[in-house]
A and B are shown apart, each in its own frame.
Chain A
Amino acid sequence: MIVSSKTTKTRGFEFPNASGQKVLCSKNVSQAIGFTVLVLCIVFALMFLGSLIYFIVANGLSVISWEFLTQVPRRAMTQGGVAPAIVGTFYLTLGAIAFSLPLGLACAIYLTEYSPKSIAVNIIRLSINNLAGVPSIVYGLFGFAVFVKVFGFGVSILSGSLTLGIMALPGIISASQEAILAVPQSYKEASLALGATHWQTIKKIVLPTALPGILTGVILNVGRVAGETAPILFTAATFYTRGYPDSIFSEVMALPYHIYALMTEGTRPEVQTQIAYGCSLILLCLVLTISALAIILRQRQRREYGS
């Protein structure tokens, strides 16, 4: 028997027939609306990012010059360059890496490879994740209390680096843990089955395989803290230095703090604001370069290992 009604019966459930254009149409319309909304959201988000970059570049570019990049500030910050601040930020970042990379990596190795499954270890994991949410000014105060006062490092590159390093630590540990956990179990088994010890397996198989992920995590997290102001506010940064730092115990100028200082102090806000935009541009370039480095590194390693 040929059924020629407007609906086809499938196990007693009625579907609108293909000729029931209305239903089909409304399905497509709702899909189109959905897509449009999503695209609009993306455009909206990108617009903010785009305008941020535009304003910084448009306002900052005019003050950027060779002199600006290489000279020390003169005349109460209204002339000359910001070279000491660039150098200071560079040292602080380097110091933060030197401190947080080995420590974070060691923690991640212990937590993924050695720690027993216990409540205590779970609490440690949880606390590490929670540390990532501590406001940066709190890190700043902590750094001041511990490094500047208790350890007596004073307001210095060392105190600032340690504070920034601690702030980057939770992110580095999480990223390293993820990278280590992503190493296929089959690699570890193959290594152990050949008579390698657990430590040899970690050193020669697990870490090299996880390295791109670990480095990406380190770079991104250090890049994030490199632009922070609050943690170095009481631990490392100073408003003005005549020259460049000569030891890790010197206080330094740093780009984020310099921007803050230019916008809150001084007597010629109109000139200082321009310089602040210039500093922002440099800082932005620095952080974006660091991120780009991480991406390139990841891509290259991915190609090599064909994962």
Chain B
Amino acid sequence: MDLEVKIRSRNIDFYYGKTQALKKINLDIYSNMVTALIGPSGCGKSTFIRLLNRMNDLIASARVEGNLMIDGVEINDPKTDVVDLRRRVGMVFQKPNPFPKSIYENLAYGLVINGIKDKKFIEMRVRESLEKSALYDEVKDRLHDNALMLSGGQQQRLCIARCLAVEPEIILFDEPCASLDPISTRKIEELILELKKEYTIVIVTHNMQQAARVSDYTAFMYIGELIEFDLTEKIFTVPKEKLTEEYLSGKFG
């Protein structure tokens, strides 16, 4: 199968004020694959993933250098439309963060802010996204209830559905199961495997088993550097770097 590079990172340096958080990151992320970023806390994996939809723009002291391209287009270019970029690059956060609105409004929000007014179309898209995120059967009778009434796992699937509703090309998962129980975690993982047919997925995870279960490629990061990047099965069976092997075998982390 031909691999198509969706995201290309070249010599990415990132600073919070004077602290360098990422050092010369070179990484290719392929279309319709799940790429996992693993590494101990503070290694820069969340920082990296938040560069992909320019969420780090919110931090005043943040500074990025190097090239970061999606479909060959530099995303840190001043001419890039950040709003459009974020629509194309969806994000699911560490803690489920539905809006304090109804389930329906949560899902319709992304469409409404992107200028869609057709009620029928919105209704259809709401239903589709709920079906895709395997939540439809659980909530179809209470679409107008407050989303905060759902369980944590359901909330997280709602957030995934909300993200799907605006038809992104890439979905970033920032430790999506960090606050969930094992059963909810399994549902999310099944969902990720299902979603990669249509989307390019990048997932940050603390959980090495999770990376092994859901990802095709794995990048191991350590203190701001990319140590190793390869097929997940290779990383987990025959890592090239000693540091990777030590981390995976639990010698540190």
Q: Which A residues fall within an 8 A CB radius of B?
A: 117, 184, 186-187, 189-197, 200, 204-205, 209, 304-307
Contact = CB atoms under 8 A, between A and B. Distances in A.
Given A187-B97, A187-B99, A194 B166 contact: yes
Contact of A194 (B58, B90, B100): B90
Interface stretch (B24-32, B80-88, B193-201, B235-243): B80-88
Given A195-B110, A205-B99, A190 B86 contact: no
Interface in B130-179: 146, 148-149, 159, 162-163, 166
Q: Which of A117, A186, A193 has the most CB of B within 10 A?
A: A193
Which 4 residue pairs spanning A and B have beta carbons closest together? A195-B87, A186-B97, A194-B110, A193-B91
B183 interface: no
Interface in B51-102: 53, 55, 58, 60, 83-84, 86-88, 90-91, 93, 95, 97-100
Contact of A190 (B60, B88, B93, B112): B93
A205 B84 CA distance: 19
Contact of A189 (B55, B90, B113, B114): B55
Given A191-B109, A193-B163, A306-B149, 13 more contacts: A186-B93, A190-B159, A190-B162, A193-B55, A193-B91, A193-B93, A194-B87, A194-B163, A194-B166, A195-B86, A196-B109, A205-B99, A306-B146
Interface residues of B, number: 29
A195 B114 contact: yes
Interface of B is mostly: helix
Contacts of B159: 190
A304 B149 CA distance: 11
Interface string B213-247: 00000000000000000000000000000000000
B103 to A, nearest CB: 14
A190 B97 contact: yes
A204 B109 contact: yes
A307 B99 CA distance: 12
B158 to A, nearest CB: 11
18 contacts: A184-B97, A186-B93, A186-B95, A187-B97, A187-B100, A190-B97, A190-B99, A192-B58, A192-B86, A193-B90, A193-B93, A194-B87, A194-B109, A194-B162, A194-B166, A200-B113, A306-B100, A307-B100
A111 to B, nearest CB: 15
Nearest to A117: B60
Interface of B: 53, 55, 58, 60, 83-84, 86-88, 90-91, 93, 95, 97-100, 109-110, 112-114, 146, 148-149, 159, 162-163, 166
Contacts of B83: 195-197
A193 B148 CA distance: 19
Contact of B55 (A192, A209, A305): A192
Contacts of B100: 187, 209, 304-307
B95 to A, nearest CB: 6
Q: Which of B90, B97, B110 has the most CB of A within 10 A?
A: B97
A189 B84 contact: no
Q: Which of A117, A189, A195 has the most CB of B within 10 A?
A: A195
Nearest to A185: B58
Contacts of A193: 53, 55, 86, 90-91, 93, 163
A58 B244 CA distance: 82
Contacts of A307: 100
Nearest to A186: B97
A200 B86 CA distance: 14
Q: Which of A196, A200, A204 has the most CB of B within 10 A?
A: A196
A227 B43 CA distance: 59
Contact of A196 (B88, B113, B146): B113
A192 B59 CA distance: 13
Contacts of A305: 100, 146, 148
Contacts of B109: 191, 194, 196, 204
A204 B108 CA distance: 12
A305 B105 CA distance: 14
A189 B146 contact: no
A164 B87 CA distance: 45
B71 to A, nearest CB: 17
B230 to A, nearest CB: 29
B110 to A, nearest CB: 4
A185 to B, nearest CB: 8
Contacts of B58: 189, 192
A299 to B, nearest CB: 16
A184 B90 CA distance: 19
A189 B93 CA distance: 9
